[in-house]
């Protein structure tokens, strides 16, 4: 099942989308109903520094909601996997 | 006028108790430079115990004021000591300025008068400086980074809808919602339905 992070289409979340596009390993789905989606088939894995996010944005990065299971979400690494 | 047409037109005053009369006057009037615009001095009245008091107001712009009550001969009760902790600091006043230049000028003014600026943070919708008044109350001056959009409103509704539904479900099982992750997951379902409905 697809792993997915919804990202509200508001300016302060642009760095999250840009960071995810830059580091790869995911696809970015354009905004529908006000939400972008960062998606992958089995796993999304991001590092805060590689995304270029400060702590405020990193710690609210999932505020738009997600689908999957959080395996890890520490100070620097986030890993969300498919629920199968 | 139907009650659907009702709205508020801003803040007239926000009031808190002060336990330091001279320091409060000197901080807001002299350090911050806010004009003292009104002071009620009265004997305690009404039902029950009420000490004599001073109730004074400082101009905080656009017709708004920040006001204080000072109770004569009334010792500060323990539960009204402001602790510098997140839950106490949640109760704070955030004033608005319009530009980065104004924000920097406030920072310089306050620092030049000995006020410690604890943080300057650019967070979601506002860039702010934070400091404390003589009672330790948390104060903020911020410049909006953007206006609120339609998506902010609908997103806020969904976030709280997800949180409240989860709290209710968990309470029915005798559990308590203690982390944000389940809220994000429940919200993911709400957003997913909304996105699919648009296709």
Does residue B123 sit at the A interface (CB-CB below 8 Å)?
Answer: yes
User: How far off is chain B from A71, nearest CA to CA, in Å?
Assistant: 11
Of B120, B123, B124, which to mutate for an interface test with A (greatest number of A Cβ within 10 Å)? B124
Question: Two tokens at A20?
Answer: 């995810």
Q: Residue A36 and residue A16: Cα distance in Å, rounded?
A: 11
Q: Above 70 in pLDDT, residue B49?
A: yes
Mean per-residue pLDDT of chain A: 94
* Structure confidence by residue, pLDDT tens digits, B75-109: 999 999 999 999 999 999 999 999 999 999 999 99
Q: Read off the pLDDT band of A69 (50, 70, 90).
A: very high
Are the C-beta atoms of B125 and B148 separated by less than 8 Å? Answer: yes
Does residue B194 sit at the A interface (CB-CB below 8 Å)?
Answer: yes
Integer angstrom CA distances of residue B88 from B21, B50, B70, B71, B136: 21, 25, 20, 21, 10
Does residue B179 sit at the A interface (CB-CB below 8 Å)?
Answer: no
Are the C-beta atoms of A44 and A80 separated by less than 8 Å? Answer: yes
Q: Above 90 in pLDDT, residue B51?
A: yes
Asked if A12's CB is within 8 angstroms of B188's CB, the reply is: no
Average pLDDT of span A56-76 = 95
Asked if A73's CB is within 8 angstroms of B155's CB, the reply is: no
Question: Two tokens at B128?
Answer: 């702010």
**Range list of β-strands (E), B85-180:** 93-96, 119-123, 126-132, 138-144
Domains of chain B: 1-81 (3.10.180.10), 89-142 (3.10.180.10), 150-198 (no CATH)
Q: CB burial class (10 A; 0-12, 13-18, 19+) of residue A22?
A: exposed
Q: Which residue of B has its CA nearest to A62?
A: B184
* Structure confidence by residue, pLDDT tens digits, B129-188: 999 999 999 999 999 999 999 999 999 999 999 999 999 999 999 999 999 999 999 999
Q: Above 80 in pLDDT, residue A84?
A: no
Asked if A4's CB is within 8 angstroms of B151's CB, the reply is: no
What are the helix (H) ranges across A1-84? 14-23, 48-51, 55-58
Closest CA to B166 of B190, B183, B178: B183
Does residue B157 sit at the A interface (CB-CB below 8 Å)?
Answer: no
Q: What angle do CA B66, B69, B71 make, to 5 degrees?
A: 165
Beta strands at B138-144 and B126-132: parallel, antiparallel or unpaired: antiparallel
Q: Above 70 in pLDDT, residue B14?
A: yes
Asked if B159's CB is within 8 angstroms of A6's CB, the reply is: no
**Range list of β-strands (E), B36-118:** 36-42, 53-59, 65-71, 93-96
ipTM associated with this complex:
0.94
Q: Residue B174 and residue A32: Cα distance in Å, rounded?
A: 37
Average pLDDT of span A40-45 = 95
Average pLDDT of span A9-29 = 93
The pLDDT score that the predictor gives to residue B199 is: 67
The shortest CB-CB distance from A66 to any of B125, B150, B188 is to B188
Domains of chain A: 3-81 (3.90.56.10)
Does residue A19 sit at the B interface (CB-CB below 8 Å)?
Answer: no
The pLDDT score that the predictor gives to residue A13 is: 93
Asked if B151's CB is within 8 angstroms of A9's CB, the reply is: yes
The sheet that has A77-81: what strands, in order across it? A43-47, A77-81, A69-73
Q: Which residue of A has its CA nearest to B186?
A: A65
Q: Read off the pLDDT band of B194 (50, 70, 90).
A: very high
């Amino acid at each position: 099942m697809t792993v997915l992070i919804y990202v509200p289409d508001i300016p302060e979340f642009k760095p999250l989308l840009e960071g995810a596009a830059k580091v790869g390993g995911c696809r970015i789905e354009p905004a529908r109903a006000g939400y972008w989606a960062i998606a992958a088939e089995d796993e999304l894995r991001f590092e805060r520094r590689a995304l270029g996010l400060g702590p405020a944005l990193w710690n609210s990065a999932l505020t738009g909601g997600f689908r999957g299971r959080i395996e890890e979400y520490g100070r620097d690494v986030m890993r969300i996997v498919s629920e199968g | 006028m139907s009650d659907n047409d009702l709205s508020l037109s801003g803040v007239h005053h926000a009031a808190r108790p002060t336990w330091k009369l001279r320091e409060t006057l000197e901080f807001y009037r002299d350090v911050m430079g806010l004009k003292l615009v009104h002071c009620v001095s009265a004997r305690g009245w009404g039902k029950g115990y009420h000490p004599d008091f001073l109730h004074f107001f400082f101009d905080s712009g656009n017709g708004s004021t920040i006001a204080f009550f000072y109770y004569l001969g009334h010792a500060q009760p323990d539960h009204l000591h402001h602790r510098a902790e997140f839950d106490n600091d949640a109760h704070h006043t955030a004033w608005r300025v319009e530009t980065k230049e104004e924000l920097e000028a406030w920072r310089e003014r306050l620092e030049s008068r000995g006020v410690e600026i604890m943080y300057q943070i650019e967070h979601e919708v506002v860039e702010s400086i934070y400091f404390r008044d003589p009672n330790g109350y948390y104060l903020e001056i911020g410049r909006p980074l953007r206006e609120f959009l339609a998506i902010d409103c609908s997103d806020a509704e969904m976030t709280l809808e997800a949180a409240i539904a989860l709290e209710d479900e968990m309470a029915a099982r005798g559990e308590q919602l203690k982390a944000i992750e389940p809220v994000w997951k429940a919200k993911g379902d709400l957003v997913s339905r909304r996105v699919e409905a648009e296709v």
